Structure 1
C-alpha cells in the first residue's frame, strides 16, 4: 500500500483494533439542516468529545469547524450529492474533487453509488474516475454503495448487500459502507466476500438505543470494521455519551448491556 494512503487510513482507523467510528454529517445537502446539525461546530465538538475516529461532510463544512478544540479527528470529504427535492434523488453527481479535498486537509474522500438506479452507469463511472485520481495522490476512498432502484425489492437482501460491497472493492475503494443485513450470519458472508474493511450504515433513525447498539455489536462479531452512522448518533439525546459507549463496543468489545448501562438506559 502507498505510504501516504496508509498514513491517512491510520487517522481514520484505531491502530490497535483496526476498526472505526465514522459519523457522517453530509445530510444538509440532501435534506437540509436537520436536528443535530444546526450548529456544525457544536456537532463536531460533541463527536470528537465522545471519541469518534472520523467525521464526514461536504467540502464547505470543513470551514465550519472540523477541527475541534479537543483532540483531533479524521476528516472524510464527501464528493457526491443530490437533494430530496430532486425528481431523481438517488442520482448522485460529483460536486468535489480529490485535489480540493487534499487542499482542505482531508484524510479520505467518499463517493456514493446507488446500484439499480437509472443513473447507475454514471455513478459507477464517477467512482472509477475518483479511484484513479485518488490512487495517484495516495488518498483513501470510502465507497457508500446501496441498492436503490426500480428493480430492487429488498435493499437489505444479503446477496444484494454482498454485491454492493463487492462493487466498492472491485472499483478501487479502500473502505466500503453498506446496509446491515439484519443478522451476524448473513453479514459475515458480506464481509467474507471482500478484502477491504466493511462498515455499516445506520439508515433511518432506529426506535431504541439498544437496537442500534445491538446492530453495531452484531456487525462487529460478524467481522465488520465498525460503522458510518449519522442520525442514530448525532440526533441521540445524549450523543456524547452514546459515542463513548460505541467506542466501548467497537474498540473494547464491551457488551450491549454494559454500553447501555454506561449511557444510563
Structure 2
C-alpha cells in the first residue's frame, strides 16, 4: 500500500504524461533570509502556480503562508534539512523536519540536501539513510539535492563529481535526484546514464540572460534529464509566471529555446 501511496504522490509533483517536472525551490529564507522574490510567499507561490510549475519546495513553517487556498494547484515538497549562511559550517546540513511531520502538513514529497566532500559528509549521509527509510515506510517520494562541495572538489560542475553525486542519490533510495548541470548535453548524458531514477537540474546563482537559462534547461532535456528544480532564476525573474511557462514548454512540451524565448517577449 505504501508503494501505491508513493505512486499517487509522485503524480502530484511530476507531469503524469511526460514523467518530467518543473519544480521551484523556495526554501532560501532559512539559509539566506527573506531575499527578493520570496519575501511574500503567498504571492511567490501564486505566480509560479499560474505559470504551470509542477511543485514548489519550502520549509515546514511557511506551508501556512505559501500554499494554496485558491488558484491553480501545485505540488508541495517539504524540505527536511538546512543550515544558514551565518554558520561557520554553511555546507553542513542538519535535519530540521521529519517525514512524519511532513505527512501531517500535507506534503506530496520531501527533500533533503547533502554536500558530498564536506567535512560533515558522514553525518549528512547518515541522515539521508534515515530519511530514505522513513520516506519508504510512509510511501512518500524523496527528492535528494546532492552537490560536490569540499576540500577535494576543485570544480563542483565537473562531470566526474556530478555523476557520482547523482549515483549516490540513486544508491541511497531517492526517487528524484537534483544535481548541477555539467555544461553540455554530452557531459550531462553521462550523469543521467549512471542514475536509474529521474535527474533534474539545479538553477544555481541568478543568471543575467534568459537565453542562457533556457539553453541550460534544453541541454539537460536533450541529455535525457527529467526536468528542473530552479529557484532564483525563476522567482527573482522580472516575470516569474512567464519564466515558468517558458521552462515548462521545453520540459513538458519538448519546445525549442526560441519558442520559449517567444513566451518571454
Same fold (TM over 0.5): yes
Asked whether the equivalents of residues 27 and 33 of structure 1 are also in contact (C-alpha less than 8 Å), the reply is yes
Asked whether the equivalents of residues 45 and 68 of structure 1 are also in contact (C-alpha less than 8 Å), the reply is no
Matches within 5 A, 1:240-259: 240-259=241-260
Residue 65 of structure 1: CA displacement? 2.5
Partner of 1:103: 104
Indicate the SS of the match to 2:170. helix
Indicate the SS of the match to 1:48. helix
Residue 33 of structure 1: CA displacement? 0.3
Q: Deviations over 1:32-68 (max 9, x none)?
A: 0001011000000001000000000100010103115
> Structure 2, unaligned stretches of length 5 or more?
none
Residue 151 of structure 1: CA displacement? 1.1
How many positions carry a matched residue from both structures? 264
Asked whether the equivalents of residues 48 and 68 of structure 1 are also in contact (C-alpha less than 8 Å), the reply is no
Indicate the SS of the match to 2:201. strand
Indicate the SS of the match to 2:17. coil
Q: Deviations over 1:144-199 (max 9, x none)?
A: 00001111100000010000000001011000000000000110110000110000
- Normalised to the residue count of structure 2, the TM-score between the two structures is 0.98
RMSD between aligned residues:
0.8
> Structure 1, unaligned stretches of length 5 or more?
none
Partner of 1:214: 215
- Normalised to the residue count of structure 1, the TM-score between the two structures is 0.98
Is 1:76 the counterpart of 2:87? The answer is no
Is 1:144 the counterpart of 2:145? The answer is yes
Partner of 1:260: 261
Residue 238 of structure 1: CA displacement? 1.1
In the TM superposition, structure 1's runs of 4+ consecutive aligned residues that sit over 4 Å from their partners are none
